[in-house]
Amino acid sequence: MGDIGTHAAHLAEYISGQKIVKLCADLNIVVPGRLLDDDGAMLLKFDKGASGVLIASQVAAGEENNLKIRLYGEKGGLEWSQQEPNTLLVKWLDAPAQVYRTGNGYLSPIAQFNTRTPGGHPEGYLEAFGNIYKNFVLALSAKLNNETPDPLIDYPTVEDGVRGMAFIDNVVASSQSDQKWWDYVV
């Protein structure tokens, strides 16, 4: 959970706009000799009523680094996969699914601000880190010049890092407990 799980949890909170408040986790060591869990699953409850499932595994044969997120609401759902990072699938309750692709003018201003390559070019993992560093430097530069940072500038904060560390602590505590649900403590 210290790597894969924290990324997935942060992504779930960031995309949903909700914070994890309870979890029920099960961690396992599948590969003999490993000192830390290499497979885990959990149920999540969020502060605005949503529920979720998070699975993180280093033993899912053939999946490579296949981070996926699916979010469902009253009118439809979103699906994104790191192996196809330029595509967002929007699934509607009462209409055909739509495909959104990176680098197009129909995207939101924040998506356009953080697009680093033209449409049709692979963009993903390395560019994501480049955007984090770029946005942090832009925000820092604005603050050093007594300016208000552009609202499109977005990057993880110290609070996000603290929540990531708390995620690991809470998952391990839940997995070791006989209690079904564990209150998420930051």
Q: What is the pLDDT of residues 124-177, one digit of tens each?
A: 666 778 888 899 999 999 999 999 998 888 889 899 999 999 999 999 999 999
Q: What are the tens digits of pLDDT across the range 35-47?
A: 999 999 999 999 9
pLDDT at residue 97 is higher than 70: yes
In this prediction, residue 119 carries a pLDDT of 73
In this prediction, residue 125 carries a pLDDT of 65
In this prediction, residue 151 carries a pLDDT of 86
The average confidence (pLDDT) of the chain is 90
pLDDT at residue 122 is higher than 80: no
In this prediction, residue 16 carries a pLDDT of 94
In this prediction, residue 83 carries a pLDDT of 85
Give the integer Cα–Cα distance in Å for 38 and 126.
24
32: Cβ contacts below 8 Å, ≥ 6 apart: none
In this prediction, residue 128 carries a pLDDT of 77
Joined tokens for residue 69: 């997120």
Give the integer Cα–Cα distance in Å for 68 and 84.
10
Is 44 or 111 the better-scoring residue by pLDDT? 44
pLDDT at residue 103 is higher than 90: no
How far, CA to CA in Å, does 104 sit from each of 70, 96, 119? 22, 20, 6
Q: CA-based angle 88:67:186, to the nearest 5?
A: 105
Greatest mean pLDDT range, 92-96, 111-115, 151-155, 174-178: 92-96
Residue written as token pair 């997120």:
69
In this prediction, residue 153 carries a pLDDT of 87
In this prediction, residue 84 carries a pLDDT of 86
29: Cβ contacts below 8 Å, ≥ 6 apart: 35, 36, 37, 38, 39
Give the integer Cα–Cα distance in Å for 151 and 45.
29
Which domains are delineated in the chain?
A: 4-183 (3.30.360.10)
Q: What φ, ψ does residue 120 adopt, rounded to 5°?
A: 90, -10
